[in-house]
Amino acid sequence: MTVVYNRVALIGLGLIASSMFWSIRRGNLANEVVGYAKSKKTRETAKRIGLCDHVSDNLEETVNNADLVVLCIPVGVMSEVVAQIAPYLKAGSTLSDVGSVKKAVIDAVEPLVPANVHFVPAHPLAGTEHSGPESGFSTLFDNRWCILVPTSSSAHRQ
Comparing C-alpha atoms, which of 10, 4, 5, 14 is closest to residue 137?
14
pLDDT above 80 for 1 = no
DSSP for residue 52: S
Burial class (CB in 10 A: 0-12, 13-18, 19+), 69: buried
Q: Across-strand partners of 96?
A: 70, 120
- At 140, is the pLDDT very low, low, confident or very high (cuts 50, 70, 90)? confident
pLDDT at residue 137, as a whole number: 83
Whether the pLDDT of residue 56 is over 80: the answer is: yes
Q: Which domains does the chain carry?
A: 5-157 (3.40.50.720)
Cα–Cα separations (whole angstroms), residue 18 to 12, 96, 141, 150, 155: 9, 16, 12, 25, 31
Which is higher by pLDDT, 140 or 29? 29
